[in-house]
């Protein structure tokens, strides 16, 4: 085990996995690990489009939790890959309910970061009776100001990355989001793959408190789902009403939540986590001083494991 990941639980393998047909031509990958008899926890990945990975199982004590991971529509091992048709927040909420019933889960703890926090909140507000609590990181409420910040505001901190990001679509109109949407949804790989590399590279450049000394150029095919899906959801306002997630927080106000936020999260600035915590009586916000956006930064990893352990005593 790498010393840098000693604050997580040991690596584990899933004991069950499968493919769930959810309609509209989409099939989701899912897996379970940990304790089959334990209280269920659902990992809601970010992006949208990022998919899951084995390290995400390690935020949870495998002796206690029934750990459930799944790849959202168009993401990871779900098929069709990078597909935006029939891919909205409403579809994803419905998919989570189909997965819950398929796995015979009554209620589960939701763990989500970045877009995962958005979807966890949207699902919880739609089905509060199916949730025991929330662990949220890098809160993104899909307000117009947050999308505008991603597209342009981050230039205040990462001007060189933003300049490359904008330059890729220079000459394709003044609307950067619309220009990327045209390219990322273009059928020609010679057009959508370079755009995917640029979009993902921009986000990766801004994701950590301390940038990697030797950043890896994103592979276009691997980056396509996240870049295309993020752009697709931004163009459509997250398929949410303006202000919906804060306005509807009363539906989950009785449920416990632990919000973990990097103080220097440039992608999802702390004001969103703060606003959510202020509106939610049973939420507690932990601001991690030396952290940015990535869940795998040391301070965030430690705080997330502690948050899950705390809710273990409340929700189990």
Report the C-alpha gap between 273 and 286 in whole angstroms: 9
Concerning whether 75 is annotated as a catalytic residue, the answer is: no
At 56, list the tokens: 């995400």
Concerning whether 293 is annotated as a catalytic residue, the answer is: yes
Report the C-alpha gap between 4 and 303 in whole angstroms: 15
Choice among 75, 168, 192, 265 that is catalytic? 265
Concerning whether 33 is annotated as a catalytic residue, the answer is: no
Report the C-alpha gap between 252 and 235 in whole angstroms: 27
* Among candidate residues 125, 133, 70, 79, the one with its CA nearest the CA of residue 103: 70
The region, left, alpha or beta by phi > 0 then psi within -120 to 50, assigned to residue 256 is beta
CB 316 within 8 A of CB 290: no
Choice among 75, 78, 114, 205 that is catalytic? 114
CA dihedral (59, 96, 219, 212) positive or negative: negative
Q: Which residues are catalytic?
A: 114, 265, 293
């Amino acid at each position: 085990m790498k010393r840098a990941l000693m604050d997580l639980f040991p690596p584990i393998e899933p004991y069950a996995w499968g493919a769930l047909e959810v309609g509209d031509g989409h099939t989701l990958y899912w897996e379970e690990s940990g304790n089959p008899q334990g209280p269920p926890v659902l990992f809601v990945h970010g992006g949208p489009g990022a998919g899951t990975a084995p390290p995400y199982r390690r935020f949870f004590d495998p002796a206690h939790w029934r750990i459930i991971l799944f790849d959202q529509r168009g993401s990871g091992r779900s098929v069709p890959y990078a597909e935006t048709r029939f891919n909205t927040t409403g579809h994803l909420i419905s998919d989570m309910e189909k997965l819950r019933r398929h796995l015979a889960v009554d209620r589960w703890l939701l763990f989500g970061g970045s877009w995962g926090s958005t979807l966890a909140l949207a699902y919880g507000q739609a089905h509060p009776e199916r949730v025991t609590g929330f662990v949220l990181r890098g809160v993104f409420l899909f307000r117009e100001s947050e999308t505008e910040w991603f597209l342009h505001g981050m230039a205040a901190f990462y001007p060189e990355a933003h300049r490359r990001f904008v330059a890729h679509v220079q000459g394709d109109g003044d609307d950067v989001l619309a220009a990327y949407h045209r390219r990322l949804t273009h059928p020609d790989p010679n057009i959508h793959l370079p755009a995917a590399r640029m979009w993902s590279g921009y986000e990766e450049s801004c994701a950590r408190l301390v940038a990697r000394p030797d950043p890896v150029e994103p592979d276009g095919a691997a980056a396509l789902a996240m870049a295309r899906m993020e752009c697709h959801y931004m163009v459509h306002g997250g398929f949410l009403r303006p202000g919906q997630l804060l306005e509807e927080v009363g539906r989950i106000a009785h449920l416990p939540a632990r919000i973990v936020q990097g103080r220097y999260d440039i992608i999802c600035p702390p004001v969103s986590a703060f606003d959510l915590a202020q509106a939610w009586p049973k939420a507690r916000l932990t601001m991690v001083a030396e952290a940015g956006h990535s869940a795998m930064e040391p301070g965030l990893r430690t705080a997330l494991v502690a948050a899950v352990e705390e809710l273990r005593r409340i929700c189990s």
